[in-house]
Structure 1
Amino acid sequence: MAGLLTQTLAACEELTVVLGDEQRSIADADGDALPALIQRKLELLQQLESLEQDRRRLLGHEAAANEGAMQAFIAGCARGDALEAQWQALLGQLRQLQAVNEASGALINRGLHQTEASLSVLTGRDRQNTYESGGQRPGYGPGRELSRA
């Protein structure tokens, strides 16, 4: 189990670096770097999935579904303190991965909204979901599309 946790922690640490690089590429609009980063991210996620399956096999599939199964396993080990430290480090790394992943998602959403706003200006279409006092959507004025101006 200790070797498995060590491998999992190493994969999580590498994934954290890859996600950070991906986040910088998104923020810098560096589309050339993204395919390799996405490929490496997928490889690491597959590796983590495989390691998780191995951990579940060691615990027993039914026990692994129980959140306390790992704690019970650790408590029953002679090297429980070392395993507990590894487990807590892994849980901390997973929380960090989640935060980095959520930040990347926020960057992508912000870019998407900025792109939609730019397109609405260029096409002359209002993409806002606003309504007039009578409950009707306002009509578009007699203006021309900027892309034809």
Structure 2
Amino acid sequence: MAEVAAITEREIELISRFVVLLKDEQDALKRADPSVLQEIGAEKIGLAEQLNTLEADRRLALGITDDQNTREAMAGWLAQHPEESTAAVNWEKLLELSREAKQLHELNAGLVAMHLQLASDALTILTRQSEQHHALYGSDGQAAPVSGSRIVDSA
């Protein structure tokens, strides 16, 4: 039964590293420094894979199937094993770190969306200038280039 405590301890270690990466990602996004984002993303993927493996190990140790809710199963297991205080403390810490990671992830997603919108706005401004050169129409209904003469163009 100490196996659950050991698994949750390793999960805490990994998710703590994940939280640090999310904070590093947030700092890079705030500085608008994309140079480190690819490396951070690769590390996050590696940690997520390790966390998924540990969750599968924990589910196996608890004897639950894939369709069972992990939180409910863990709460039930802890209720049946009150002597597993280390596992209980680890579980609460794991839940707390998971909430923090989720909040950081959502904030970072918002920062990414903001940067994408700014880039999109800049592209719109840059491409609109070339579209304005074809803002006038000739007698045949086709776009006519702007001649540069305000008098002719406004006629």
CA drift of 1:22 comes to 1.1
How is 1:106-121 mapped onto 2 (pairs within 5 angstroms)? 106-121=110-125
User: What SS does structure 2 have at the residue aligned with 1:124?
Assistant: helix
Larger radius of gyration: 2
Give, in whole Å, the separation in 2 of the partners of 1:62 and 1:47.
19
> What corresponds to 2:7 in structure 1?
4
> What corresponds to 2:150 in structure 1?
none
CA drift of 1:86 comes to 1.3
CA drift of 1:63 comes to 7.8
> What corresponds to 2:74 in structure 1?
70
Aligned CA distance change for structure 1 residues 8 and 64 (closer, same or farther; 3 Å): farther
CA drift of 1:28 comes to 1.5
| 2:40 corresponds to 1:37 | yes
Which amino acid is the alignment partner of residue 57 of structure 1?
L
Give, in whole Å, the separation in 2 of the partners of 1:20 and 1:69.
31
| 2:62 corresponds to 1:59 | yes
How is 1:90-129 mapped onto 2 (pairs within 5 angstroms)? 90-124=94-128
Give, in whole Å, the separation in 2 of the partners of 1:25 and 1:62.
39
In structure 2, which of residues 70, 79, 83 is the aligned counterpart of residue 79 of structure 1? 83
Percentage identity across paired residues of the two chains: 26
Give, in whole Å, the separation in 1 of the partners of 2:72 and 2:24.
34
Please, which runs of 5 or more residues in structure 2 have no aligned partner? 137-144, 147-155
Aligned CA distance change for structure 1 residues 22 and 63 (closer, same or farther; 3 Å): closer
Which amino acid is the alignment partner of residue 71 of structure 1?
A
Q: What TM-score, normalized by structure 1, do the two folds share? A: 0.78
Please, which runs of 5 or more residues in structure 1 have no aligned partner? 126-139, 145-149
**Retained in 2: the 8 A contact 1:74–1:84?**
yes
